[in-house]
A and B are shown apart, each in its own frame.
Chain A
Amino acid sequence: MARAVAGDRGAFGVLVERYAAAVRRVARAVLGDPDDADDAAQDAFLSAFVKLRQYDPQRPFGPWLMRIAANAATDRRRRRAVRRAEPLDGLTAGGPQPDAETQRRDLGRRLREALAELPERRRTAVVLFDVEGYSHAEIGRILGIPEGTVRSEVFHARRALRVLLADWKEDAE
């Protein structure tokens, strides 16, 4: 970390490798479209590199980076024209696929659609909590909202998404 702060690109590259997946997931939760999400994730890393000297090494790096990532994704979402670009992933790839794999892809698509229906803050909160494992307090700092609000957002998001998950399990059985 110290080397990255000192401007060592190799050290920063290690940080990019370590956090890329999480940053891309959070960006995708906000933006929906994977290409837009990757653009936002790249913006976030470039911004983080510029701001590294402002980072307090006494605090965990993940929430600091996630705050930048969430802001980058939100900024991009505000800038871009509203458009629907939800990919169908492997469903359009052609050729027969095993049922389990087809169902898993279908669940993924439905989850993304359901996420897209949630308010932005709610879906970011649930992804940070249930996927990335941040605490309510950390998410509060990342999103700039009270911890109680984070709990409420995660609760409502889970309630909406779990219905989907239950339906999928019933279908699969």
Chain B
Amino acid sequence: MTPEPTPFNHRPDPVLGSALRRALSPGDQAAFVARVMAALEGARAAHWDVLASWARAGLAAAALAVILGGLFVGRAGLTPASIDDVLTLAAGPSAPVLVGASSPPDPSFVLPSAEER
């Protein structure tokens, strides 16, 4: 039997340590190590799944932004012609220009111009 311990005893007690080691000794070591490594792989896969889901959401958002941007730019290209543009062009072959315009010209400008002809 080892001597009675005191608060100042700085050496491990081999008898008690050995008994405790036996009492607490875990089961299959190899199985536990394999379990930890499998959990590590699982955590890694889950990590990539999260990143992939974020990437998918990011790509979807980017695609939507591109589509909306394209629509905006396209619509900007279809800005209605101003009445001045129409009247300037009307000095030449007026009918096709007026028919092709996306918005009707102001009649108060068009009619006097026609009367002058």
Residues of A that sit less than 8 Å from B by CB: 9, 12-13, 16-17, 20-21, 24-25, 28-29, 34, 37-38, 41-42, 45-46, 49, 104, 107-109, 111-112, 115, 126-127, 129-131, 133, 135-136, 151-152, 154-155, 158-159, 161-162, 165-166, 169
Contact = CB atoms under 8 A, between A and B. Distances in A.
Contacts of A29: 24
B41 to A, nearest CB: 8
Interface string B4-40: 1111111011011101111111110100110111011
A130 B20 contact: yes
B78 interface: no
Task: Name the prevailing secondary structure of the B interface residues.
Answer: helix
Given A24-B26, A29-B24, A165-B15, A151 B7 contact: yes
A108 B22 contact: yes
Interface residues of B, number: 32
Contact of A129 (B8, B12, B29, B43): B12
Contacts of A133: 12, 17
A130 B17 contact: yes
Contacts of A109: 23
Task: Name the prevailing secondary structure of the A interface residues.
Answer: helix
B20 A42 contact: no
Contact of A108 (B16, B23, B26, B37): B23
B46 to A, nearest CB: 11
A112 B23 contact: yes
Contacts of A152: 7
A165 B21 contact: no
Contact of B27 (A12, A13, A34, A111): A34
25 contacts: A9-B40, A9-B41, A13-B33, A13-B37, A16-B33, A20-B36, A21-B26, A21-B29, A25-B26, A34-B26, A37-B26, A38-B32, A45-B40, A46-B43, A104-B22, A108-B22, A131-B17, A131-B24, A151-B10, A152-B7, A155-B5, A158-B16, A161-B16, A161-B20, A162-B4
